């Protein structure tokens, strides 16, 4: 047997030893992971789109409450009320469009509510921290509150509330 034949035989046995099953499994895992990554990135984009709408609704309600409806001296309370209004919009669009959930609406609503009760605390707490302790402008406090609750909400909505 020539050296080239021995090397070819060793190489083919080495690859065969690595096993076609392993290679196929590796390719399938990569494909599934790629799909999961793409799906998650798509969900993040949709979640952000819904979030922009929620933020506009939240900010509009907040400014209406503080400027026209007498809650100008209760900024954190106004923020909480405005947040709940945005939350209702969020449930509708994220359930149907972002995560495509067709499961039990009451289960989803219950988990969504629990998730958002904690998110409300994070949101209002961030607002209070930035306004009262850091003494930063109201618009900075609104942005910080939104960012903090965004991260919390996406992770829990994806993994718990609207999980597949």
pTM metric for this prediction: 0.61
pLDDT for the residue numbered 155: 86
The domains of the chain are located at: 36-161
Overall residue count recorded for the chain in this entry = 164
First to last CA, the chain: 57
How far is it, in rounded angstroms, from Cα 92 to Cα 80? 19
pLDDT tens per residue across all 164 residues of the chain: 555 555 444 444 444 445 555 555 555 565 556 778 888 889 999 999 998 999 899 999 999 999 999 998 999 999 999 988 998 999 999 999 999 999 999 999 999 999 989 998 999 999 999 999 999 999 999 999 988 888 898 989 999 999 86
- What the block records as the tokens of 88 is 């209702």
Alpha helical stretches, state H, 19-104 = 20-67, 75-93
Q: Which residues contact 59 (CB under 8 A, 6 or more apart)?
A: 82, 142
What is the per-residue pLDDT for 29?
61
Residue 17, pLDDT score: 47
47: CB partners within 8 A, 6+ apart: 94, 98, 153, 154, 157
Cα→Cα distances 63→17, 85, 138, Å = 68, 13, 11
Residue 128: per-residue pLDDT: 95
CA distance 115 to 157: 8
């Amino acid at each position: 047997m020539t050296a080239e034949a021995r090397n070819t035989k060793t190489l083919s046995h080495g690859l065969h030893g690595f096993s076609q099953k392993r290679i196929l499994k590796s390719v399938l895992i990569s494909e599934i992971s790629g799909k999961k990554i793409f799906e998650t990135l798509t969900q993040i984009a949709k979640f952000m789109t819904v979030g922009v709408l929620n933020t506009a609704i939240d900010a509009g309600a907040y400014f209406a409450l503080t400027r026209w409806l007498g809650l100008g001296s209760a900024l954190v309370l106004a923020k909480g009320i405005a947040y709940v209004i945005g939350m209702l919009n969020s449930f509708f669009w994220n359930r149907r469009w972002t995560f495509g959930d067709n499961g039990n609406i009451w289960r989803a609503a219950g988990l969504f509510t629990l998730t958002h009760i904690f998110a409300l605390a994070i949101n209002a707490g961030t607002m209070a921290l930035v306004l009262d302790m850091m003494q930063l402008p109201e618009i900075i406090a609104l942005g910080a509150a939104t960012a903090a609750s965004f991260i919390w909400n996406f992770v829990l909505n994806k993994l718990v509330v609207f999980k597949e």
